[in-house]
A = this chain, B = another copy of it.
Amino acid sequence: MFENKDDSSTSIGSLGEFGLIDHLTKNFKIKQKSTVKGVGDDAAVISCDSKKEIVVSTDFLLEGVHFDLSYVPLKHLGYKAVVVNLSDIYAMNAEPTQITVSIAVSNRFPVEALEELYAGIIAAAKTYNVDVVGGDTTSSTTGLLISITALGMVNKGEAIYRSGAKENDLLVVTGDLGAAYMGLQVLEREKEVYKVNPNSQPDLEPYSYLVERQLKPEARKDISGLLKELDVKPTSMIDISDGLSSEILHICKSSKAGCNLFEDKIPLDPQVISTCEEFNLNSTTIALSGGEDYELLFSIKTEDYPKIKANPNLTIIGHITDEKEGIHLISRAGTKIPLVARGWNALKDNG
């Protein structure tokens, strides 16, 4: 789906690899003062500060695995590819500063399509104040592949790991869960409708929040500052990319801890609830296993409870227990259900 609808189309081969890189990167502006040298040499150069630590994270996005270009506009894809990486940086309590972007494309993409993709990448870089400092552009035999590496900086000793959760800590999540996954279900359904009747005009209005969460997610750049303001330092933190249950398991495994998660505390948007009913899906299951929420999940000491309890951005959803107690969802009916990485199957198996 190329947003640029005019008929002009330039083949990638006509620019050549170096011409293409020059063409796509000429609009990149350097804003971070730590960027000594961006695109255009064998490597980017970034200045260091002994009071800081650097965090690095990398992600792959593959056509046909992570996205479907039949309903994902390339500009949105570029934006999202950056956001999913930055989310990992925020999950370390760091500020993202630079990204590198590697792209492999088949000849079916004209240069104009890559311009759309890069417009999204540049928009995200602007929103999150990061510099695009390097990358690689190559041809692929099949489709579009994007690999982004994000760098960020955190004050020395202030990185927050998955491993610091302690018994009795409270488990807190930002925002709400499950919307991105339900957005995907809505888009997949529209794609099927479109196949049968290409003239149908989909009405996505009732699903606007869901579709936006799927197509144009944002990373929680506000949380680090909010927690500083509230004078709360999480004991552990992770971002929610694969679904709540999988992230809870990561924290518990890394922290050698157990957890009780309360079903009735899981924050859900009304659109998630109504659309789950429409699709005959269990909204808890969707929140647990849907993924792509890019919210932050963290644990705090119980003494910090008063500081966060009234905050509309934060929801306490459970507490950390001793490792021996295991990792459970406490259902609305009070039943204890073991959480496993694929909450979907787990719930189906257990009730």
Contacts and interface: CB of A to CB of B under 8 A. Distances in A.
Given A58-B136, A60-B104, A159 B238 contact: no
A142 B145 contact: no
Interface in A300-342: 341
A92 interface: yes
Interface in A128-163: 133-136, 138-143, 145, 147, 149-154, 156, 159, 161-163
A162 B42 contact: yes
Interface stretch (A94-102, A119-127, A259-267): A94-102
A54 B153 CA distance: 12
How many copies of the chain does the oligomer comprise? 2
Interface of A: 16, 18, 36-37, 40-60, 62, 64-66, 88-89, 91-92, 94, 98, 100, 102-104, 133-136, 138-143, 145, 147, 149-154, 156, 159, 161-163, 237-239, 246, 254, 341
A144 to B, nearest CB: 12
B45 A57 contact: no
B60 A54 contact: no
A145 to B, nearest CB: 6
A40 B236 CA distance: 13
Given A104-B65, A159-B37, A46 B42 contact: no
B145 A104 contact: yes
Contacts of A239: 42
Given A142-B142, A145-B145, A53 B48 contact: yes
A60 B151 contact: no
A258 to B, nearest CB: 18
17 contacts: A37-B159, A41-B161, A42-B239, A43-B55, A43-B57, A47-B156, A48-B49, A48-B52, A48-B53, A48-B54, A54-B54, A56-B98, A58-B100, A60-B104, A60-B147, A65-B104, A65-B140
